[in-house]
């Protein structure tokens, strides 16, 4: 696929608008339109979807999403230098692209979706993004901890560093298993779709990237997500220690906590399935003073 539309090549767009990638913003631009189209296709049929894209940069993935038929794209970009380039895409696809200048971590994304042209409550909402490396994990955790559940989104198709992608899909007894794997496994079905070589980016990062697709479970095991984050942070913060030692930072007696959760005190975090951590979160909730929440690290 040499071209997906009649707009200028991305390298020309970057040169015209002076869009040298900034390390401080975690920017690595994906210029290969074959790859941006492949990422877009990973989200499935977008013809009736409102798509949220975070960090569109010069708009390579934005163009692929629109060219492949996304009904409407809401693109959230923190770097104001990119706005003129995105405006050119909006002009090429009239009425189908909303560009929001701001920080996605601070945006009310569900409200932006609800305000998108043609959106109706319950419509298919997909988040598709080559996430800036410095905020990708924080955004994913925010979306996994969304309340109420099922969430406002119907699918996440996201690019991460390969190391982070492996943590998202990891399970017990996997070296990459940790808090991120528990949160993702608790509420979603997650899989790695494909890898992207560093050479595909400008500038090339030092690592391989991977595209991950997550679909929400309709009825995940019930627990307080904030407490689940807390117990996993404690357990994996000292992952080589037995649970009776690693969970002491929770500020409660660990032996009764583990007994209620049905977990051996001599077990280690890396061997505990998602259901075990959910049981720990439920047990911790019973030991907190009424009305007091445990802060998440």
The annotation places the binding site at 28, 30, 55, 77, 103, 130
Do the beta carbons of residue 229 and residue 183 sit within 8 Å?
A: yes
Do the beta carbons of residue 12 and residue 29 sit within 8 Å?
A: no
Q: Is the peptide bond before 203 cis (omega within 30 degrees of 0)?
A: yes
- Strands of the sheet containing 188-196, edge to edge, are 97-101, 72-77, 50-54, 125-130, 155-161, 209-216, 188-196
Q: What are the tokens at 1?
A: 């696929």
**149: closest CA among 69, 215, 52, 83?**
215
Binding residues for S-adenosyl-L-methionine: 28, 30, 55, 77, 103, 130
Give phi and psi for 235, each to the nearest 5.
-65, -45
CB atoms within 10 A of CB 138: 12
């Amino acid at each position: 696929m040499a071209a997906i539309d009649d707009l200028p090549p991305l390298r020309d767009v970057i040169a015209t608008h002076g869009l040298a990638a900034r390390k401080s913003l975690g920017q690595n631009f994906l210029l290969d339109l074959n790859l941006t189209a492949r990422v877009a296709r990973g989200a499935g049929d977008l013809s009736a979807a409102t798509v949220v894209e975070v960090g569109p940069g010069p708009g390579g993935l934005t163009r692929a999403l629109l060219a492949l038929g996304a009904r409407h794209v809401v693109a959230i970009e923190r770097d104001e230098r990119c706005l003129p380039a995105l405006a050119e895409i909006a002009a090429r696809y009239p009425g189908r692209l909303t560009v929001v200048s701001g920080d996605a971590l601070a945006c009310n994304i569900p409200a932006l979706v609800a305000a998108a042209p043609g959106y109706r409550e319950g419509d298919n909402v997909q988040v598709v993004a080559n996430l800036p490396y410095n905020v990708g994990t924080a955004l994913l955790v925010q979306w996994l901890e969304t309340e109420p559940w099922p969430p406002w989104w119907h699918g996440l198709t996201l690019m991460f560093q390969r190391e982070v992608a492996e943590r998202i899909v990891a399970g017990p007894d996997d070296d990459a298993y940790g808090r991120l794997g528990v949160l993702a496994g608790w509420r979603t079905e997650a899989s790695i779709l494909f890898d992207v070589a560093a050479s595909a980016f400008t500038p090339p990062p030092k690592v391989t990237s991977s595209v991950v697709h997550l679909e929400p479970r309709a009825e995940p095991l019930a627990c307080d997500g904030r407490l689940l984050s807390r117990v996993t942070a404690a357990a994996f913060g000292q992952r080589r220690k037995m649970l009776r030692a690693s969970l002491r930072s929770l500020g409660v007696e660990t032996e009764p906590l583990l007994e209620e959760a049905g977990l051996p005190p001599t077990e280690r975090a890396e061997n505990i399935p998602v259901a075990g951590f959910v049981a720990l979160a439920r047990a911790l909730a019973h030991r907190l003073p009424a009305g007091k929440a445990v802060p998440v690290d």
